[in-house]
Amino acid sequence: MKQINYICFIMKFEEIKSVLSECSVGIAGAGGLGSNCAAALVRIGLGHLVIVDFDRIEESNLNRQYYFRDQIGQPKVVALKDNLLRINPFLDLTISQEVLIPGNIPDFFEDVDLLIEAFDKADQKAMLIETALAVWPDRPVISGSGLAGYGDFASLQIVRSGSLYICGDQTHETGDETPPIAPRVGIVSHMQANLALELLLNLNSPVSSESFIS
Amino acid sequence: MNLVINNRRETVPDDIRTIKDLLDFKKFSFPRIIVRINGKLIRKPAYPETVIRENDRIEAIHMISGG
């Protein structure tokens, strides 16, 4: 695993939007990580997005997820579609209300440039990452791991292992005393979006990808 | 045997032969881990038969619940 040094690219927003409009991102899971990451990417002009999640919105989700009280009970992907299209009605968005398993992951995410792992449960995160890296060894997978509780901003980091990037503190597991709540989940979901942006601009520009590695 | 585990040099007992042995020894629990040897992804069914060698670089990434 390698620690990533951020490089702040200087690019006009119109240029960013123009590059992103041609890019495609897959998001596995539409909870705290996935819904907030999606909103950030859509706000900056991502053109194509694929989101898969099986779940429905519960009241307890509203402490961190990009949904509203009047959407409780709806499938998350349906509500997220409504919310994202309010940001950009021209977004090319594919949603599926399905449980992701090793057998269907290749089909859902065949055409994306990179994949965001945004599940809740650790074994599901591992399953998705393992499947994605086996099917597409060179395609970036941006995972979130360790985001429960509050405070301790400095422990949030990105580590890299080949094409796998992990955002979070890699320590704090969700529990009664360490709930996943908006501020820290939001930071990690936006670390994922920020890294996705960085990688997508980099994939489409002459800057060497080596510049990401410390 | 000398290994590099998650970027740290470590010496493990010589009776550790496979990835499964190593994960058991390190008490890394199974269902939530990503394993690579020298950058190559090792899938779960292959843990018991994947032999580790002197100076291998092993990454065992533990995923944490929450999202």
B67 located within any domain? no
Distances in Å between the Cα of A186 and the Cα atoms of A105, A111, A181, B67 are: 25, 27, 8, 10
B60/B44 Cα distance (integer angstroms): 12
Query: Per-residue pLDDT tens for A118-144?
Result: 999 999 999 999 999 999 999 999 999
B51 located within any domain? yes
Report the half-sphere exposure of B54 (CA within 13 A, side-chain side): 2
- A203 — pLDDT class (breaks 50, 70, 90): confident
- A10 — pLDDT class (breaks 50, 70, 90): confident
- The interface predicted TM-score of the complex, written ipTM, equals 0.83
Distances in Å between the Cα of A31 and the Cα atoms of A126, A151, A181, A206, A208 are: 17, 21, 11, 34, 33
- Pick from A32, A25, A26: which is nearest to A186 by CA? A32
- Mean pLDDT value across residues A174-189: 94
- Does A172 contact chain B (CB < 8 Å)? yes
Question: What type of residue sits at position A8?
Answer: C
Q: Give the mean pLDDT of chain A.
A: 92
The answer to whether A98 touches A108, Cβ cutoff 8 Å, is: yes
E strand intervals along B6-62 = 8-11, 33-37, 40-42, 57-62
- Pick from A123, A125, A179: which is nearest to A147 by CA? A179
Contacting residues of B for A129, CB less than 8 Å apart:
34, 63
Domains of chain A, first to last = 30-206 (3.40.50.720)
Contacting residues of B for A130, CB less than 8 Å apart:
34, 41, 43-44
- The CATH number that applies at residue B38 is 3.10.20.30
Nearest CA of chain B to the CA of A30: how many Å? 9
Overall number of domains in chain B: 1
Contacting residues of A for B7, CB less than 8 Å apart:
1-2
Query: Per-residue pLDDT tens for B15-60?
Result: 999 999 999 999 887 567 889 999 889 988 899 999 999 999 999 9
What pLDDT, on the 0 to 100 scale, is given for residue A3? 57
A59 phi, psi to nearest 5 deg: -55, -40
* Contact criterion met (CB < 8 Å) for B39 and A162: yes
Domain span at B29:
2-62
Nearest CA of chain A to the CA of B45: how many Å? 12
When CB atoms are compared, the residue of B7, B59, B63 closest to A126 is B63
When CB atoms are compared, the residue of A33, A123, A161 closest to B67 is A33
* Contact criterion met (CB < 8 Å) for B31 and A168: no
The answer to whether B63 touches A125, Cβ cutoff 8 Å, is: yes
